[in-house]
Structure 1
Amino acid sequence: MKIWLDGKLVEESEAKISVFDHGILYGDGVFEGIRFYNRRVFRLEEHIKRLFESARAIALKLPWSEEEVCQYTIDTVKANGLDDGYVRLVVTRGAGGLGLSPYLCETPSMFIIASTIKLYPQEHYDNGLSLITCATRRPAPGALMPQVKSLNYLNNVMAKIEAIQAGAVEGVMLNEQGYVAECTGDNIFLIKDGRLITPQVSDGALDGITRRVILELADQLGVPYEERSMTRYDIYTSDECFLTGTAAEVIPVKSLDQREIGDGKPGEVTLRFISAFRELAGSTGASID
């Protein structure tokens, strides 16, 4: 496997960063995950723009341009000879001292990994996921801005542990006011009376790229939608529910907290969105060739 690391492609065994890197010591950095299909990187420019916005939000100035990082991403995918898969970009503050101050780090570091990924077993795409509500809350915007994809994902990891220990694959995270924010790694949508509903970003939801695609597809499919505050009651009583994310793509949900959603099977509208997303993702994107 070839890894892009600070300006050059190296073998996986040679892809090393300093133990004094603030990304390791303090989770001080940002990342993006991007899918590619049929040798096309899906929504590449949107992802790279968000990477730069996350960096700007944490006062991390990147020494590369967005155009350069787009090209580095394509180069990494091409070097690994993959047609379909997932590429992860990680930017750290760089090596510094053991002190907390980010100003001890002179130069940011970036590495790019291109590989294959399967987030959930196929049976869950066929039959739907069972979710639980996590006790771990989504960080308040005043503590950590939810739009920043930072390397400090411990909050989500702890929520994921809760879900797995409860026998579920994924869990719903609430904000401090008790409203639904998102899942541990995915955005959440529901269908009620033919209407698509998803939490607003101000409630702690990441403004996901796949989330944006679904809202675009809603217009094309003629499905009315709204972004608003949601409670667990809204999910319990919904007709259909599905999750979205770059790694997860679009995956149906069959229950939350052992309450069956709809008839407990992937719904008709959900299946329309899955089909439309796959068609779009498989036919558009930045060419690797």
Structure 2
Amino acid sequence: MVLFLNGKFVKKEKAAISPFDHGYLYGLGIFETLRTYNGKPFLLEEHLERLNDGLNELGIDREFTPSEIKPIIHELCRINGLPDSYIRMNVSAGIGDIGLQTALYEDPTVIIFQKPLPPLTPLREKEAVILKLRRNTPETGSRLKSHHFFNNAAAKREIGPDPDKEGIFLTKEGYLAEGITSNLFWAKEGVLYTPALETGILNGITRQFILKMAGRSGIPVKEGLFKESALHEADEMFFTNSIQEIVPVHKFMKRELPGNRGAIVRQLYKKYEDNISMLDE
């Protein structure tokens, strides 16, 4: 497998970064994960906008545009023979002296990874459980998709390695937050609900896409502060992220749910499929 590292395409076995990179020493780095379908990146502009915002927050003096990144992704798809793939773009602060730095980082380390995925994941169901571990609060005004990922890793350890199970974080105040690697949605009597950004969740790119598609489909949406009890009354529930797309929940805390038979899930998934098909136009 080949990856992109600081302007070059290199085999993964030969890729190396400095131990003095402040992404390693202090966790100063931002990443984005997205999918390609038939060699074309989905929602790339939105992912780069969030990436650039995070880099600015961390004091990393670098900005990326679709015109710069799209050809790199296309070349990775060609070299690795992976038109349908997982892409992770990782930008860390770069080399610095030991000790915290207040000046801007002007020479970051840029890595773009790739691995295979199926062309379009069907509506694969999962079981959802409430985590005992609470969601940590963002380190700044809003949650960054940063290298500080141990809250997520610890939550995954709590529920175990089963890929068909997702944990739901509560905030320290007891409000519904998000999944371990996903955003959370549920429906009740035709209304779509999701936790507000004020809970400290990541403003997921697929989350934003779903909210937009719901609006275009005439589905009422309510963002807010909700307790766990709201999920026990839900008609449908699903998770979203950029790699797994839309993930319907068939079981929540021993309660059966319609999963991939849910009307709103299926309606939104059709919108997702339609937008994927337009990548080829």
Structure 1 CA distance for aligned equivalents of residues 103 and 50 of structure 2: 23
Secondary structure at the counterpart of residue 113 of structure 1: strand
Q: Which runs of 5+ in 1 are unaligned?
A: none
Contact 1:77 1:87 in 2 (8 A): no
- Residue in 2 aligned with 1:6? 6
1:216 is the counterpart of 2:207? no
- After TM superposition, give the deviation of residue 278 of structure 1 in Å: 2.2
Please tell me whether the aligned partners of residues 86 and 115 of structure 1 are also in contact (alpha carbons under 8 angstroms): yes
What is the rounded CA distance, in whole Å, between the counterparts of 1:71 and 1:265 in structure 2? 35
Q: Does residue 276 of the first structure (1) align with residue 271 of the second (2)?
A: yes
Contact 1:131 1:163 in 2 (8 A): no
The residue aligned with 2:137 is 140
- Number of the residue aligned with 2:175: 179
Q: Partner of 1:151 in structure 2? A: 147
Match of 1:37? 37
Other structure's SS at 1:148 match: coil
Residue 275 of structure 1 aligns to a residue whose secondary structure is helix
Identity %: 33
- Other-structure match for 2:83: 83
Residue 61 of structure 1 is matched in structure 2 by: 61
Residues 1:74 and 1:230: Cα distance change in structure 2 (over 3 Å): farther
Contact 1:172 1:180 in 2 (8 A): yes
- Alpha carbons of 1:14 and 1:196: their partners in 2 closer, same or farther (altered >3 Å)? same
User: 1:69 is matched by which residue type in structure 2?
Assistant: I
Which residue is equivalent to 1:97?
97
Contact 1:35 1:247 in 2 (8 A): yes
> 1:168/1:63 Cα in 2 relative to 1: closer, same or farther (>3 Å)?
closer
Deviations 1:104-145 (A, max 9, x none): 966210110122147xx97xx44x31121112222223x345
How far the C-alpha of 1:177 sits from its partner, in A, is 1.5
Distance in structure 1 (CA, Å) of the matches to 2:63 and 2:259: 50
- Alpha-carbon distance, 1:75 to partner: 3.2
Counterpart CA distance in 2 for 1:59 and 1:200 is: 27
Contact 2:29 2:93 in 1 (8 A): yes
Give the aligned residue type for 1:280: N
The match for 1:236 among 229, 232, 238 is 232
Distance 2:268 2:173 in 1: 30
Distance 1:256 1:93 in 2: 40
Q: Which amino acid aligns with 2:187?
A: I
Higher relative contact order (CA 8 A, sep 6+): 1
SS of match in other structure, 2:169: strand
How many angstroms does 1:64 deviate by?
Answer: 5.4
SS of residue matched to 2:35? strand
Whole-angstrom CA distance in 2 between matches of 1:116 and 1:74: 14
Give how far 1:247 is off. 1.2
3-state SS of the aligned residue for 1:222? Answer: coil
Give the C-alpha shift of residue 152 in structure 1: 1.3
Aligned residue in 2 for 1:200: 196
Q: CA deviation at 1:102?
A: 6.2
Q: Which runs of 5+ in 2 are unaligned?
A: none
What is the one-letter code of the residue matched to 2:185? F
CA RMSD in angstroms, aligned pairs only: 2.6
Q: 1:28 to 1:268 in 2, by over 3 A?
A: same
Please give the secondary structure, in 2, of the residue aligned with 1:170.
strand
1:284 partner SS? helix
The count of residues paired between Structure 1 and Structure 2 equals 279
Shift of 1:98: 3.3
Give the TM-score normalised by the residue count of structure 2. Answer: 0.89
